[in-house]
Amino acid sequence: MLMKQTVRPKVGLLALTLELYETLLPELRGSREDWLKRSVLPALQREADVLFTRAVFRREDIEAAVAEFEAARADALLVILATYSPSQLALPALQRTRLPIVIWNTQELPAVN
């Protein structure tokens, strides 16, 4: 009897933050990364292999993260705004990638949705 082998998709998680918060609220990025690891990643990992190391806020780090996901042969790119992040920082890397892009709104404040 042949066993059907399921191939799990591989998803690159691009978590974006704002560089200004590094000065104003230096603990914020770490707390948002912890939240992602505690709340978001377990839910995603039931369905896919998720590639995630840290949230990024500089254009060159965003581009490097997307390049790493492409090199790892991710099947898709999941963009999460861990905090506010200006779109023009991520836009060039997102326009260049051939990966399908999913933007997931994880806003925790109902008044903002």
Of the candidates 14, 9, 27, the one whose C-alpha atom is nearest the C-alpha of residue 106 is 14
Q: Please say if the pLDDT value at position 112 is more than 60.
A: no
The amino acid at 31: S
In a domain, 5, yes or no: no
Instruction: State pTM to two decimals.
Output: 0.87
The amino acid at 87: S
In a domain, 38, yes or no: yes
Q: Please say if the pLDDT value at position 110 is more than 80.
A: no
Q: Which long-range contacts (CB under 8 A, 24 or more apart) does 36-42 make?
A: 36/80, 36/82, 40/13, 40/80, 40/106, 41/13
In a domain, 64, yes or no: yes
In a domain, 110, yes or no: no
Q: Please say if the pLDDT value at position 90 is more than 60.
A: yes
The total of other beta-carbon atoms located within 10 Å of residue 59's CB is 16
In a domain, 109, yes or no: no
Boundaries of domain holding 20:
10-104
Instruction: Give the CATH number, domain containing residue 15.
Output: 3.40.50.10940
pLDDT at 28 (0 to 100): 93
If one counts the domains in the chain, the total is 1
Cβ atoms 14, 78 nearer than 8 A: yes
In a domain, 51, yes or no: yes
Q: Please say if the pLDDT value at position 80 is more than 80.
A: yes
